Amino acid sequence: MSYSAWILLTASLVGMSCGLVGVLLILRRMAMMADAISHSVLLGIVVAYLVTLQLSGIHMFIGAIIAGLVTALLVQSFHQLGVQQEASIGIVFTTLFAIGVILISTKAGNAHLDIQHSLMGEITFIPWNTVELPFVGSVPMAVVSLSIVLLIVLLVLLLFYKEWKLTSFDPVFAASIGIPVTLMHYIFMSLVSITSVAAFDAVGAIMVVAMLITPASAAYLWTDKLPTMLVLSCSFGVAAAWIGYYVAVWLDTSISGAMAFATGIIFLISFIAAPRYGIIAKHRRSRASAALTEHA
Partner 1 sequence: MERVSNMNEAIVVNRLSAAYRKTEVLSQVSFTVKPGTLTSIVGPNGAGKSTLIKSMLELHPRTAGEVSFLGQPYQKAKKKIGYVPQRGSVDWDFPTDALDVVLMGLYGKIGWLKLPRKSDREQAMEALRSMGMEQYANRQISQLSGGQQQRVFLARALVQDAELYFLDEPLAGVDAATERIIMDTLQQLKNRGRTVMVVHHDLQTVEDYYDHVLLLNRTVVAHGPTDEVFTAEQLHRTYGGALRWMREKV
Residue ranges binding partner 1 (CB under 8 A): 27, 29, 82, 159-163, 165-166, 168-170, 172-179, 220, 223-226, 228-229
Considering beta carbons, is residue 138 or 228 the nearer one to partner 1? 228
In degrees, rounded to 5, the angle at the alpha carbon of residue 96 between the alpha carbons of residues 27 and 62 is 75
Q: How far is the CB of 174 from partner 1 (least distance, A)?
A: 8
Q: Please tell me what DSSP assigns to residue 145.
A: H
| Helix extents (H) in the chain | 3-27, 31-52, 58-80, 85-107, 115-120, 141-159, 161-169, 171-176, 181-222, 226-251, 255-273, 279-295
Considering beta carbons, is residue 166 or 240 the nearer one to partner 1? 166
Q: How far is the CB of 179 from partner 1 (least distance, A)?
A: 7
Question: For the chain, how big is the Rg over CA atoms in Å?
Answer: 20
What is the rounded CA–CA span in Å between residue 81 and residue 70? Answer: 16
What is the rounded CA–CA span in Å between residue 40 and residue 34? Answer: 10
Considering beta carbons, is residue 1 or 231 the nearer one to partner 1? 231
What sign does the CA torsion over 215, 220, 222, 228 have? positive
Q: How far is the CB of 193 from partner 1 (least distance, A)?
A: 23
Is 152 in a helix, a strand, or coil? helix
Considering beta carbons, is residue 86 or 170 the nearer one to partner 1? 170
Considering beta carbons, is residue 19 or 244 the nearer one to partner 1? 19
Q: How far is the CB of 173 from partner 1 (least distance, A)?
A: 6
Q: How far is the CB of 87 from partner 1 (least distance, A)?
A: 16
